[in-house]
Structure 1
């Protein structure tokens, strides 16, 4: 059909993005696939226009997840701040796509994904180890939080920890700046007479 020769992609159970790649290739080659299935003697029924529309919508909903997967897996060390902010961005991206979906099946998929992302984000917002890096990362700061309540908790916890560090460093510096205690005058006189002998 005058197109580049591309092979179909088969999904691998252990890699979710292989399912995305399979659907993407199927949608990309829908016309050649339809022509091939029509000319071959096979029991396989070609996908309908509604099914292709559902595939297109599913790719649209899953696209942000693929981008996040590529982004996070492409780094040797993923910072904790990027995990929460990725969930926040996934929530925003998928929520904004839900209104434009035509297929009920993909609307259910999108709703389910948004619910799971929010559950994970709320869970991570309760863990100090995950909230502090997000709050301290200059790229994200307060933008990486879904809940304003959890944001305020994280800010209060950070202020409290900073105050504790400042107090403890103030006590240490005060103890190192204190001059050594002076000896009483009688002992100084005794030392000077001992030194003169």
Structure 2
């Protein structure tokens, strides 16, 4: 809206000046304020568009976008021309720090960020939150590995042989048979191996990575659990708006199951279009 006002400012001023008892047109200082506000709000518009997608993973974007907003606003502060713009920038920085940075201590977004091969640990603002998120991911993987693992048979001692040399080293075989890895160790090793891999490009789709590139079932299970969470309520609001269009005055006799079917087809037809 601010961009449209700036583009049509000359036309708006002429209309206001020609209108009896009309409002005064924008002054030069007010125009500068609008330009600074436009610069400040551009990163937020980009963030809104990315977190409002209905076909891509969005929950893993919350923490990286929050850090990106902080970084961009710090850089934009030097480009602002008036005091009001710099004060607005400081107010936005305080709001992001007090409200959006809190998502780093919430389980779903921080585990989802770690599972996103585009971001991993590099997208966090606090090193402490990285450690806590990694512990949560280890617990998730350990729990899944424990569910799918089967109880092993009791280790059997190797049969004795007649050679004295073999009997001297029989204790080695016993120790080998008693050696085993726990689910926690497996999880730690898998996470360490995953973190050592290079990050994907920012425009990549994390679902393609876990579906095609990686064959780790425990990681795929965690991705299904966390990536399905939407970052915003935008999609729910879109669904309510579409339901208001479907159930109109002329179609008020529709049964609820038919409404559900119509809405389901409407919101998921993009899947068949991609095949």
Cα distance, 1:56–1:90 mapped onto 2, change above 3 Å: same
Q: How does 1:126-145 map to 2 (within 5 A)?
A: 126-145=105-124
Residue matched to 2:41: 62
Instruction: Identify if the C-alpha distance between structure 1 residues 41 and 60 changes in structure 2 by more than 3 Å, giving closer, same or farther.
Output: same
1:130-170 deviation line (CA, Å, top 9, x unaligned): 21110110111123211122112222333354455556655
Identify the residue that residue 182 of structure 1 maps to in structure 2: none
Matched-pair contact (CA < 8 Å) for 1:88–1:121: no
**Aligned equivalent of 1:174, options 149, 152, 161:** 152
Q: 1:46-103 CA distances to partner (integer Å, 9 max, x unpaired)?
A: 1111110110000100111111112222324653212222222222222211121122
> What SS does structure 2 have at the residue aligned with 1:43?
coil
Question: Which residue matches 1:111?
Answer: 90
Instruction: Give runs of aligned pairs for residues 24-173 of structure 1, distance below 5 A.
Output: 24-76=3-55, 78-163=57-142, 165-166=144-145, 172-173=150-151
TM-score by length of 2: 0.50
Structure 2: state its 5+ residue gaps.
Answer: 157-275
TM-score, normalized by length of structure 1? Answer: 0.68
Decide which structure has the larger Cα Rg and report it: 1
- Matched residue pairs, number? 156
* Contact 1:121-1:146 at 8 Å conserved across structures: no
Higher relative contact order (CA 8 A, sep 6+): 2
Q: Which runs of 5+ in 1 are unaligned?
A: 1-20, 180-197
Query: 1:163 and 1:70, CA in 2 relative to 1: closer, same or farther beyond 3 A?
Result: closer
Aligned-residue RMSD, C-alpha: 2.6
